[in-house]
Structure 1
Amino acid sequence: MIFYAKWKKHKTIPENSYQISFNGNGNTAGLVPDSQYIIKGSRGVLPGNNTLENKQFKDNNASTGTIQTNDYIFIGWSKNKDAKAGDADVFSQGASITPTSDEVYYAIWDLKVKDVTLTYDGNGNTGGTPISSVTKQRYTEITINPSNQGSNLTKSVVESGNVVQYVFAGWNTQADGKGTDYYSGAIFCYFSLPCIFSFKIKSII
């Protein structure tokens, strides 16, 4: 009597393709997405985190018998396993990639419960004092500049021999005013990164 191994087709790997594989990078449960095979010169799309979870041991409460964990949320993928949320080499689910070799992408995690600081920047103001920084827990909603303190800021500069005065025009997420505008009374939700709001101005001569 002889027993023969029985086989069934698992996958077909295209010729002239690169293998894109995924690493849970410290996950404590769940499965990584299946590897992708992308034809050379073609584009692929990064998947979601599938069923991956990351809950690291924090403390054991002897009085209740419960185990406390630091829970992490999935941020995206990076070829740098030590990358952090907000780094330029972290790509979110659905990002397009064009590989030039076989590559490994690592899951990037960030603490779910985390304090985030919002800073108001005078952005070159010559008078007044910017609002104090505010630190809240991630995903907390706040009202931007509720007392309209930004209106106390002033800016005057000399341009081509003339004194140009500016008036307060709200806040922006970029110093050049090309980011997202926020005005007094607007609702802002803290996410994963430290935030800086720059004083936005318009000129009056």
Structure 2
Amino acid sequence: ATNAGNLARTGYSFAGWNTAADGSGTGYAEGASYTVDSHLTLYAKWAADTYTVNYDANNATSGTAPEVQTKTHGVDLILATNAGNLARTGYSFAGWNTAADGSGTGYAEGASYTVDSYLTLYAKWTADTYTVSYHANNATSGTAPEAQTKTHNVHLTIATNSGELARAGYSFAGWNTEADGSGVNYPQGAVYWLNADLTLYAKWAANTYTVNYHANNATSGSPPAAQTKTHGVDLILASNTGNLARMGDAFAGWNTAADGSGTDYAEGAAFTNDTDVTLYAAWIPAYQIGDIGPAGGIVFHDSNDYSDGWRYLEAAPASTEWVLKVWGGYGTLVGGTATAIGTGAANTQAIVGKLGEGDYAAKLCADLSYGGYSDWFLPSLYELDLMYQNLHLQGIGGFMSAHYWSSSESTAHYALNQHFFFALPSDDLKDNGHRVRAARAF
């Protein structure tokens, strides 16, 4: 017989007749001839339906999608793995999905597919993510923003300074890819579009301070232009470039107070304070050679310049002079002493630093306190010669026609002195006794 009665079974197709219910017996097609003389029961034979499972690479940039699979009705199908190494730049493979945009039903690799239906599975892609970290970069207060997560090909808005990062002496100036600010700048709230991890450092702009100059009652000349000091960077102060002058006085550098009661700064000195400041021209009485100096000594040199922090040299009065004093340190090389004008103070400091306590020329001068000042020193050879030329030869200062020690060393055993009659410098043994006259600079 044919299937005239339209036998049907869900999930199966009619496939003729069979002598066994499970289809394992002898099969007979519809309308076939039966020739055996025997009773017979024929069972409808059912062939399970099949369904195709297709795989779609879904914008993969490399690899291949799995081959098509066939699912038999009522029989679970083990879904394919990513055996073809599908990959997509900027994304990670995350299994399969019934929708290309990942909004459908998800299936893991190797999962069981139980639905009796045709199916297309799309490679599911999870966008890679990148971390944007923030570094306080020597901030003295506040906190850096929390790290942000950037999704592949999705623009990220860079954080603002929400944690109120601050650094003493600096202003916050956004973010930079390098701690020293030499990298790429990112303003607060800027768009970051690169697909890469990123560390952003707080960028600091050093504060600046203004140094103004004031003529302070000068009768001629002009003060230097204002200077700008950067935080943490020493500034070299201006010299008297505008030739400021005041009748009856000598220019003596700069002072933070108009009356000279503040802090003194020499021309060309390093200004280290991180603050605005006004510097006033400092004036001291103008001295002539032979005048009595501020400490009660006798002025014997005018350098006409205050760039080294002093302009005049004065010799201590005759009442302070020592007789028959050794230079000291016989056999010991102090080293580093000089003969030039302006080096006596440093020479004296070096000698005392090397030889220490004792009754010798440099130490006596360094310990002298006279006229309210204690910054006396043993003059260098050329300073001593100025005493001779400008005072002794003019009959000023009460000098004797004798040998006077200078602070200028020759060797470990000899030092230089000058005779105030023959006007000639000479070497002498350090342990010989000569006269000593102190000097000071102002």
TM-score band, normalised by the shorter chain? 0.3 to 0.5
**Higher RCO (CA < 8 A, seq sep 6+):** 1
Higher strand share: 1
TM-score (normalizing by structure 2): 0.21
TM-score (normalizing by structure 1): 0.43
